Chain A
Amino acid sequence: MTTTDIRPSGQPDEPEAPTNRPPSMHRVKMWLRRPYARGILVLTVVIGFLLLPLCWLLLAAMNQTGAPASPIMRDIEQTVFVFTLISIPITAFVFAVLVYSLLGWKHISGDEVPADQSPAIRSNTIGVVMWTAVSSLLAFFLVVWGLVELAQITANSYGTIPADEQPGDSQALIVNVTGQQWVWTFEYPQYDGITSETLYLAKDRPVYFNVTSKDVIHNFWAVELGVKIDANPGAITQTGVTPDKLGNFNVRCAELCGMHHAYMETGIQVLEKKDFNSWAREMGGGKTA
């Protein structure tokens, strides 16, 4: 006989032939016996491990100027880490298919149209279902993670943390942030309205920002604190943070605001509480606080 296996087509009155369908684990083993399946899996693992350092490299890039300097920034970095980690397997798999397609499966060059020799696979239920399930699960995880984190940093920013979790003895600091072309002004209403062009904050003391603008839209970005909010003319936007690291950090404008947008940046000084109070007294505030 030749290789073609022609079974007699079933007559209508014949009982249905017993299916000799192998169990699913056997089918997986069969699949894994194919050279390309192993090749792609190995490549996926290799590429995945090659990409793995990105989890830390991204954070290293973010941390070059002293971040994280607040719980919010730590949350952000944690999210970046986790998202990188869970993106790696699927990215590595796709890259592995790309590499294997070029190096593992055959290729033909030349100007002549080659004869058809690829298998006519129109679909594959298992593959499609697995892809959908995995990508939906990942998306679901991202959404849940994002919603929880967002609720958490919103709580951290707007001060809805339960009282027993409020740090320390102090009452929250309020800073009115005003953007105008092309300077930032920080006003401390609790300290007789003293103003400063550098943002002075006290370590571990929550601070609430009331942000507005005198002219066009600016964006108040306290880089290492992970705080960002638009400064809109005619409206006050609010956010907040608890700096927990001493040092010099940066405020930059992150919304194009005209000619000297690039130069609209200033510094943040996070001081110990007593240093902050003496700074405020030096500036002429704090007599009534």
Chain B
Amino acid sequence: MSTATATANVFGSEVPQPAQHGQPGGIMRRLNFVTGLIGGLALATIAGVVTNILTPSGASTATFAPAAPDYVYLAVLLGWVIGFMAGMGAFVGPIRWLLGRDITHADAEYLAGKDLGWKRYWKFTTDHKVVGVQYLIMVMIILGFGGLLAMLIRTELGVTWAEVFSPSFYNSIIGTHGIAMIIGMIIVVMGPIANFIVPIMIGARDMAFPRLNALSLWLLVAATPCLISSLFQGGVQDGWSVYQPLASQGPPGMLGYQMTIIVFAFSTGVASVNLMVTTLTMRAKGMTWSRTPILVYGVFAAALMGLYAFPFYQYSQILAMSDRIFNTSFFDPLEGGSVWLYENLFWLLGHPEVYVIIIPSAAVLMEILPVFYRKPLFSFNFAVAGIVGVVALSGLVWAHHMYMTGWAPAVNYPFMLSTEMISIPVGFLVLVAIGTMWRGVVWTRLPVMAIYAVIFNKMIGGVTGIYLSDVPVDQYMHGSMFVVAHFHYMLMGAGLFGAMGGVAFYFSKMTGRMLDERAGSIGLWTAFVGFQITFGSMFVAGLQGQPRRVLQFDSLFNISNWISTIGAYIIGIGMLIFLGAIISSWMYGEKATSNPFGSKSLEWQTPTPVPLENFAVLPVVTEKPYDYGVPDPYQKELAAVDGDFDTQKVGSQS
């Protein structure tokens, strides 16, 4: 069009621009969440109706169930995901490229939500801070949904004298609770905190691929209804691990699970690549690896593990879906498939995913500790070594979930070795935490108090993990309530409580308001107490021999289940209080200052709310992080007692 070389002023320099087509943003000005919903529902309806017409009458699946519900439900899900993403404008960027319309600076600013106010949270916005806040809301929705299901599960188990739910509905809330919580826990730090904080923390203006960032968020939003809708299609009746061939017997709801995983794995893959590229290439000048905060390491490690683990999962679900829809038999042993193939593919995700959850939440805590103890992080190198060790071993331990499957009894030996070895790098992280506490004067604010809950739970989860890692003991405990209690101690006790501390810490930066720490603390500690009651007595039920995923059991297990259910309601109350504190502070809290905790880290040096593009002038890093504290008083004392021997040496011994 116009040949005049338009320029735009980008941070003080004139940058030549491609031709501007129409108003900045183009068609993206009209697309938002509502058009996404309309697109998704419209395409889902069309796809469902067309599939229903095209399906021959009397078609049946491999298990001789009518095939039409399967086909229609799958078409509806596909239509929803594609229609929703199209309605959100996810495909506009590639189409613009095909049309040869390069993006101008004004376009990019519009896409990042400049001057859009609250509306930017409802659009395909590329600004990482908007994506972070959107993730925070999604996390609360998903964890709230999973928590609600947990209450239903405990209600059923507490009512030992009757069946509250039908067995099939009970089985489906177990599976849906499991996968909802896993998804929620994977994104609880990697979503809000990694997207919002990490780019600012490393001194970047945005993520490396802003549109992929928005894509990962909106794919997650598209996946969530797939999971929830499966409850109305018979549900996920096979636990979150959906072992074959039971899964292929299941109702059409299984397709909802499979579609959720396939879409979610795309979302995680995109987000992982984005985070890795961002942290590798966009750190501020002078931010060498020894000056990079530990949270960045944690997020990078989790992204790396997610990147190799999720494809296995996605692949297993694609094969399972193919078994179901096309009557293939990858996992059907009666037709030459293998159930062990599925189990291997599943746990190749299943175990790294545990560390995808734990490592970022531990890293957030290591980021918080120095601020509140006013003390450097103890042994930064060890923290890095711990993370590297966990990443290195994370892919070599999956078959400890399969000790009792009979797949290959001989490999139990090496997998026991690798599993018990991973306790060493995990121990490093505990050392870093208690080393930072060591002799520190703690400023008792809510974020740092979470560390006490986390270390307590992590020790219990870790020690009980030692039993389970041992094949002979696992021969008793595998598949029992003991396992359930153990992984709740790790994922919820260490992962979620750590993430709650992290959210409390970054709340003021993300929302611009101060968190009501009084109400938040009441919620956190109520949940903590309930947590100990629930899962402490669940250990007992497991030791007594209660299998997991049952809705009725021997009267022997009654007492521990009653106690457990009471504890679960206490957790529920605590979490509601915490959630209430977050919501009310977000709406009515007092305005936050830019650095209420006196942190020296880069992200706290920006104003609150953080402006678009974060930094007018990119920062230069000249020091190691965590430069807090005063010279060790024991150095002087020792020198006085012992004369003038080398004070440096003695100081480092303390």
Contact = CB atoms under 8 A, between A and B. Distances in A.
B279 interface: no
Contacts of B122: none
Given A98-B452, A105-B442, A234-B333, A80 B467 contact: yes
Contact of B423 (A91, A128, A139, A259): A139
Nearest to A252: B547
Contacts of B556: 64-65
Interface in B383-405: 404-405
Interface centre among B174, B544, B554 (most CB of A within 10 A): B544
Given A5-B639, A139-B421, A149-B472, A121 B375 contact: yes
B472 A253 contact: no
A75 interface: yes
Nearest to B479: A254
A114 interface: yes
Given A101-B437, A233-B333, A122 B380 contact: yes
A120 B381 contact: no
A205 B467 CA distance: 29
Interface stretch (A30-38, A196-204, A268-276): A30-38
A183 interface: no
Contact of B382 (A5, A20, A102, A128): A128
Contact of B543 (A34, A58, A121, A139): A58
A76 interface: yes
A82 to B, nearest CB: 10
A109 B444 contact: yes
Interface centre among A61, A123, A235, A256 (most CB of B within 10 A): A256
Chain B facing A: main interface SS: helix
Interface in A202-258: 211, 215-217, 219, 221, 223-224, 226-230, 232-235, 237-238, 250, 252-258
Interface stretch (B90-98, B181-189, B217-225, B624-632): B624-632
B553 interface: yes
Contacts of A127: 431, 435
A131 interface: yes
Contacts, number: 312
B339 interface: yes
A255 B472 contact: no
Interface stretch (A140-148, A163-171, A184-192, A279-287): A140-148
Contacts of A139: 420-421, 423-424
Interface residues of A, number: 102
Given A101-B442, A120-B630, A22 B642 contact: yes
Interface centre among A138, A221, A261 (most CB of B within 10 A): A261
Contact of A123 (B334, B381, B452): B381
Interface string B251-288: 00000000000000000000000000000000000000
B392 to A, nearest CB: 15
Interface string B222-253: 00000000000000011100010110010000
28 contacts: A22-B642, A34-B634, A36-B439, A76-B475, A91-B459, A111-B596, A113-B596, A117-B374, A118-B439, A118-B441, A119-B630, A123-B381, A123-B652, A124-B654, A127-B435, A128-B379, A128-B382, A131-B427, A142-B423, A143-B417, A150-B471, A217-B246, A219-B479, A226-B476, A233-B339, A235-B333, A256-B171, A259-B171
B57 interface: no
Interface centre among A125, A216, A226, A263 (most CB of B within 10 A): A216
A142 B470 contact: yes
A217 B243 contact: yes
A153 B409 CA distance: 12
Given A98-B452, A228-B475, A258 B645 contact: no
Interface string B463-492: 100110111110110111000000000000
Contacts of B437: 97-98, 101, 105
Interface string B624-654: 0000111111101011111111100110111
A73 interface: yes
B522 interface: no
B183 to A, nearest CB: 20
B357 to A, nearest CB: 21
Interface string B532-570: 000000001001110111111110100000000000000
Interface of A: 3, 5, 7, 19-22, 27, 30-31, 34, 36, 58, 61-62, 64-65, 72-73, 75-76, 79-80, 83-84, 87, 91, 94-95, 97-98, 101-102, 105-109, 111, 113-128, 131-132, 135-136, 138-139, 142-143, 145-147, 149-150, 153-154, 211, 215-217, 219, 221, 223-224, 226-230, 232-235, 237-238, 250, 252-263
A94 B455 contact: yes
A219 B475 CA distance: 11
Contacts of B643: 20
Contacts of B326: none
Contacts of A95: 456, 459
Contacts of A228: 404, 475-476, 478-479
B289 interface: no
A50 to B, nearest CB: 14
Contact of B376 (A61, A120, A219, A235): A120
A250 B545 contact: yes
Contact of A124 (B238, B435, B467): B435
Contact of B645 (A19, A253, A255): A19
Nearest to A231: B406
A118 B473 contact: no
A77 to B, nearest CB: 8
B243 A255 contact: yes
Given A135-B423, A256-B239, A65 B443 contact: no
B167 interface: yes
Contacts of A250: 545, 554
A216 B439 CA distance: 56
B246 A98 contact: no
Nearest to B633: A119
A259 B475 contact: no
A117 B427 contact: no
B597 interface: yes
B472 A108 contact: no
Contact of A117 (B413, B441, B472, B554): B441
Contact of A101 (B238, B409, B440): B440
A119 B632 CA distance: 4
Given A132-B428, A262-B550, 14 more contacts: A20-B643, A31-B654, A102-B452, A118-B439, A118-B629, A120-B631, A135-B424, A216-B245, A227-B475, A228-B476, A228-B479, A229-B404, A250-B554, A261-B167
B588 interface: no
B478 A232 contact: no
B195 interface: no
B373 interface: yes
Contact of A261 (B416, B435, B549, B597): B549
Nearest to B474: A228
Contacts of A73: 476
B598 interface: yes
A282 B291 CA distance: 79
A84 B469 CA distance: 13
A22 B430 CA distance: 31
B297 interface: no
A276 B379 CA distance: 64
Give the 3 A-B CB pairs with smallest separation, nearest first: A234-B333, A120-B629, A237-B406
